[in-house]
Chain A
């Protein structure tokens, strides 16, 4: 966390509205990308990003240590997204079903679009676990706590997600070569 960020948080905590605008401008890309990675829906990602900033605005006064801002922000993003996902999928999906990967043909897109497309094809359980690990940098134990599942499940989800991602990407690349 940079010195600028720390000062910014301090100023926001003293009630400086202008500093909150600066925070919104600096963190919107990160918040949106994380939310989009978890939800894979642009319009939902926009709504949830907005919700995340409102939550920050309401509760930044309760943040004890400004150095913990990043992990606090990540917690807000993750929990808001998981709540949204729970509303989308009220019934739990059996692990056997999670192994099914969409067989649709990959579009002829560039590398970034290809990986985004591949991510979209993963089931929400695999995707959220992988995003928490790869993008937000949580440890397996932290992910287990966030998702409320055993560490063993996190291990297998991450590993299977990577295998599926690798498979989808290689299929997509093969189709692209044709």
Chain B
């Protein structure tokens, strides 16, 4: 191995980022080359000095207190937000409660209509011949699938999807 190659890969060697073969290759070169050995030692010393320097860098005395005050303010903010959320929910829920009988009436109307349709369909199927009944059944199935597909296509273009994401 040439010195140039060894020096280029020195950082990876020091950081243990080389595969076993490359590591062994550089290690073997370092044994025979004093110059590269010096660079390796310098890099290692640099690492140590770097770490020691950061470990010894002074921390502002009042910082801890500042952080604790900020955390306390955050706690107060969170509890205030909880109260605000509760009030909002109550405010939004009250009109909903007032409208509940009306909403139930609509749901009931839907149910009654659906049930009436179901009855008509059952009677018709019983009266009609088997082939026609099957035809109506299959057509209804495909129409339902098509309906679902159309609703999805409509929703895809609307803002509703963006909100749900």
A residues adjacent to B (C-beta < 8 A): 17, 20-21, 24-25, 28-29, 32-34, 36-37, 42, 46, 49-50, 53-54, 57-58, 111-112, 115-116, 119, 130, 133-135, 139-140, 155, 158-159, 162, 165-166, 169
**A-binding segment of B22-30, B56-64, B118-126:** B56-64
Q: B55: which A residues are within 8 A, CB to CB?
A: 33
CB–CB A133/B15 < 8 A: yes
Q: B67: which A residues are within 8 A, CB to CB?
A: 24, 28, 49-50, 53
Interface size on B, residues (CB 8 A): 30
Whose C-beta in chain A lies nearest to the C-beta of B17? A140
Interface residues of B in 37-70 (CB under 8 A from A): 42-43, 46-47, 49-57, 59-60, 63-64, 66-68, 70
- Decide yes or no: A20 and B63 within 8 Å by CB, A33-B54, A139-B17, A155-B12 being known contacts: no
Is B8 engaged at the interface, CB distance under 8 Å to the other chain?
yes
B50 to chain A, nearest CB (A): 5
Majority secondary structure, B binding face: helix
CB–CB B15/A42 < 8 A: no
Cα-based distance from A118 to B71 in the complex (angstroms): 34
Q: A29: which B residues are within 8 A, CB to CB?
A: 59
Q: How many A-B residue pairs have CB under 8 A?
A: 89
Cα-based distance from A112 to B59 in the complex (angstroms): 14
A144 to chain B, nearest CB (A): 11
A28 to chain B, nearest CB (A): 5
Cα-based distance from A99 to B11 in the complex (angstroms): 17
Whose C-beta in chain B lies nearest to the C-beta of A139? B17
Which among B8, B42, B51, B71 is the interface contact of A159 at CB below 8 angstroms? B8
Given A134-B50, A140-B12, A166-B43, 10 additional A-B pairs, CB 8 A: A24-B67, A24-B68, A42-B60, A50-B67, A57-B74, A111-B49, A119-B53, A135-B51, A158-B11, A159-B8
Q: A54: which B residues are within 8 A, CB to CB?
A: 70-71, 74
Cα-based distance from A75 to B43 in the complex (angstroms): 26
Which among A49, A135, A155, A166 is the interface contact of B63 at CB below 8 angstroms? A49
Whose C-beta in chain B lies nearest to the C-beta of A56? B71
**Can you list 29 A-B pairs with a CB-CB distance of less than 8 A?**
A17-B75, A24-B64, A28-B64, A29-B59, A32-B60, A33-B55, A36-B57, A46-B60, A46-B63, A49-B67, A50-B63, A54-B70, A54-B74, A57-B75, A112-B53, A112-B56, A115-B50, A115-B53, A119-B50, A119-B53, A134-B50, A135-B51, A140-B15, A155-B11, A158-B15, A162-B46, A165-B46, A166-B43, A169-B46
